[in-house]
Amino acid sequence: MSEADGYLGRAQEYALAVTVAAVTANAYYIHPIIGEVAVGFDVGEARIGIVPALNQLALALGILLLLPLGDRFSNRLLCLVFVAAQSLFLLGMALAQGFLLFTLSSTLLGFVTIAPYLIPAFASKRVAPERLGQVTALLTAGVIFGILVARVGAGIVAEHFGWRTVYWCAFAIMAVTTLALPLAMRSDADVTKRPSGSYGALISSVFILAAQHRDTMISAIIQALNFAAFTATWLALALHLTSAELGYGVDAVGYLAGIAAVSIFATPRLGRWADRIGPRRARSIAALVQLAGIALFYPLGFSIWTLLVPLTLVNLVGPTIDVTGRMTFLALEPDIRTRLTTSYIVIMFTGGALGSVLGTTIYDAAGWGGTCALLLGISGGVVALSWLAQRTDRRARI
């Protein structure tokens, strides 16, 4: 299929993936440099933790209140507005001389970070149905790449040039992205019917559509559990590797995070595979592989080298569970996809927050063994729900 057929060209698809990487990275620059920022503003560790926490809460609120607008207004126009707003708030973070202004800018940055979730809905309306999984996976790989580059790049830049330079670089990247975005999203034909009514009715319709599309909610719950396992794993690993028992430095966690690179290359290929066999069947298989990887966490979890085996398996298929979940509703009517994405993402972040609490709490109470048991239980739930969704869909087709 070509642009002449009304579909995105390959260059546009890759440009959108790069855009997703750039806008996603903004929330993760602070992770490796949070100590440097605390020193810069002369605040303690507990207080500096407010910055990423408020950013994530604002992100969830922005998704709920702003993302449904994608079913009312042009996705292209909304992305341009909110990406430009991200540039403005990054500039505020780079220039902030006080902790309050820095925190406020970071919080507002989170609130307007909806482009990573608008772009997949935009793309889903402009790709052939048989390539939906491949393109969705490509955009997911962009998210992974953005997180990886942010975590690694911010640490290197801050080490040599100071933490403010990180945000000057981020501002420059977003300024370029804002200028290039009209070309990447130049195909914005009115391919959907726009829902009418007030803004309040539009937000209410998010909940109504969620109730009407049970399969989408199952996909959202599966991804919430998947994301909970992801956050619990990395938080517990940070505590486990630096414990007196293992004695690794904090840099070891950063090196291990580089294993996510396997997802960048594997996810688009697994997306094409999901196009061939169907998203629900592909998700069930990916969930089983992930369960096998998590089962190896305890026996292989006492050396950074043996941990590479289960982490590779989990990072190989974890994003595919997300991709296949999105495929189940991005193939529905174009005019409801963004609102269904809203429900999906909000539920996903709720799972991530729960995983953050459980990951540290269970490790504190029961150590690495207790954490592995928690992860095994969560992964078992992903397998069970994936199998249920596949079986229910098969029955519905008979």
- Express each pLDDT in 222-254 by its tens digit: 999 998 898 788 767 777 877 788 887 656 666
Indicate the pTM of the whole model.
0.73
pLDDT at position 187, please? 59
The answer, yes or no, to whether residue 1 has pLDDT greater than 60, is no
Report, as an integer, the average pLDDT of 318-344.
Answer: 82
Residue 194's pLDDT band, with cuts at 50, 70 and 90, is: low
pLDDT in tens, 68-113: 887 777 778 888 999 999 999 999 999 999 999 999 999 999 999 9
Take residue 136 and report the two structure tokens written for it.
Answer: 């969705």
CA distances from 162 to 29, 152, 174 (A): 13, 14, 19
The single residue listed with the structure tokens 């729960």 is 354
CA distance 313 to 320: 12
Angle between helices 279-295 and 261-277 (to 10 degrees): 140
Contact 340, 329 (CB under 8 A): yes
Those residues whose C-beta lies under 8 Å from the C-beta of residue 40, and which sit 6 or more positions away, are 163, 164
Those residues whose C-beta lies under 8 Å from the C-beta of residue 89, and which sit 6 or more positions away, are 105, 106, 108, 109, 112
Report, as an integer, the average pLDDT of 366-370.
Answer: 90
pLDDT at position 32, please? 67
Take residue 274 and report the two structure tokens written for it.
Answer: 């999901």
pLDDT at position 131, please? 77
C-beta atoms surrounding 356 within 10 Å: 18
CA distance 104 to 108: 6
The answer, yes or no, to whether residue 190 has pLDDT greater than 60, is no
pLDDT at position 47, please? 74
Per DSSP, the chain holds a count of helices (H) and strands (E) of 16, 0
Report, as an integer, the average pLDDT of 351-379.
Answer: 85
The single residue listed with the structure tokens 């390959």 is 10
The answer, yes or no, to whether residue 398 has pLDDT greater than 60, is no
Domains detected in the chain: 1-185 (1.20.1250.20), 196-398 (1.20.1250.20)
